[in-house]
Each structure stands twice: as structure tokens, then as C-alpha cells.
Amino acid sequence: MATDDQPKLYLITPPAFELTDFMPRLCAVLDGAEIACLRLALATRDEDRLSRAADACREAAHARDVPLVIDTHVALVGRLGLDGVHLPDGARGVRAARTALGGEAIVGAFARASRHEGMNAAEAGADYVAFGPVGTSALGDGTAAPRELFEWWSEMIEVPVVAEGALTAASVADLAGVTDFLAIGEEVWGADDPLAALSRITSALG
């Protein structure tokens, strides 16, 4: 449940990257900002590419005491020594993932802008529920998750809430008091200096 404390930063990798180019950029962000969790969000379904990326990201994250979760692929969590999974389809799969991974693993769910889907995910055992996008985006059907949703959730539900998708400095400032985590990824990876871009977006956090 969100409190007066500042939200923590949850970093999301790009959907595609070359390890030799990306890893120095990732390490610079991990070293320069306080990151609470890293999500490997590659769009590929190639197990070899996923495994190589997961190995590199796990080594970098764990060296800095940052947990690493993988998008979608529950079966790879144990095999690759990861800390959990992020499920992009709401409550579907949360209970099965919890059963497969056990109580210590992180199981997160993305509920778009649906309070009902978020509540179902929380009841099924999700460790956090993410809503988004919070800004203008062409993703999904374009429906944005309003501030009122985060405000209601932070007052009524104990499961941590994550804001993600099209975050800006203005939306970070607006949501800082009503969300537990800010999930930031493509907002910064397109910049020449991702750490500087992250600092600009999160400047309201002090």
C-alpha cells in the first residue's frame, strides 16, 4: 500500500537489444540509481536469446542486490536462477505461477486499467499489480490508467501497486504519493544517456 514514502524504481529492459551494446548502459543505470527490481522484457520467444540475456542481466542485477524477474516465461525462472515472473495478462496464470514457483518467488501481474482485473490478480496471489499506461500510448486499446485508480488502490488494497507505461516527469510527480513503484523502460532506453533521462523523469522524487 502506498504511503508518504517515495515510490521505488522498477526498471524494464527494452523489448530487443544486443548484449554487447546494452549491458554497459544497463550497468550504468543500476550503478547510478536506486533500482528496486529489474524486469527482462524481451519480445523474442527464442529460448537461447532469452537465456543469454537472462544470464547477463542476472549477473549484473544480483551483483547489486537487485532482483530480476522475466516477462511471461514462468518455466525459465527456476532454470535460469531468476527471482520471479511478470505476467502481462492480468490475473490469468497468477495462481498457476505461484504454485509452480513457490511462495518465495516474485509473481507480478499487469492489469492495464482494470480495477477488477487487478483485484483478481491480487486475490490469486500476485506480489504486485501494475496498471498502465499512465500517459498517451498506442499500446493496447489506448486506455490510460487514471490517477484515481492508483489513489483508490493505495487506500483500499495492501498489495503493492506499480505505475507503468508512458511515464513523464509530470506524471511521476502526480503519482508519487499514490503508487509504490514506478516502472520505467522505453522512456529512457532511447536516450543517449539513459541514466540522465531517468533522472529527468524522476526529478520530482528528489
Give pLDDT tens digits for 22-72. 999 999 999 999 999 999 999 999 999 999 999 999 999 999 999 999 999
Q: How far apart are CA 93 and CA 107, in angstroms?
A: 10
Give residue 140's pLDDT band: very low, low, confident or very high (50, 70, 90).
Answer: low
Q: Which domains does the chain have, with CATH numbers?
A: 8-205 (3.20.20.70)
Q: What is the mean pLDDT of residues 108-119?
A: 97
Give residue 138's pLDDT band: very low, low, confident or very high (50, 70, 90).
Answer: low
Could you tell me if 97 and 107 are in contact, meaning their C-beta atoms sit under 8 angstroms apart? yes
Q: Of the candidates 32, 59, 20, which has an alpha carbon nearest to the alpha carbon of residue 195?
A: 32
Could you tell me if 200 and 32 are in contact, meaning their C-beta atoms sit under 8 angstroms apart? no
Looking up cell 523489448 gives: 15
Q: How far apart are CA 5 and CA 205, in angstroms?
A: 10
pTM over 0.75: yes
Give residue 137's pLDDT band: very low, low, confident or very high (50, 70, 90).
Answer: confident
Identify how many contiguous H helices and E strands the chain contains and give both numbers: 9, 8
Q: Give the per-residue pLDDT at 3.
A: 44
Phi, psi at 129, each rounded to 5°? -125, 130
Give pLDDT tens digits for 150-171. 999 999 999 999 999 999 999 9
Q: Give the per-residue pLDDT at 139.
A: 60
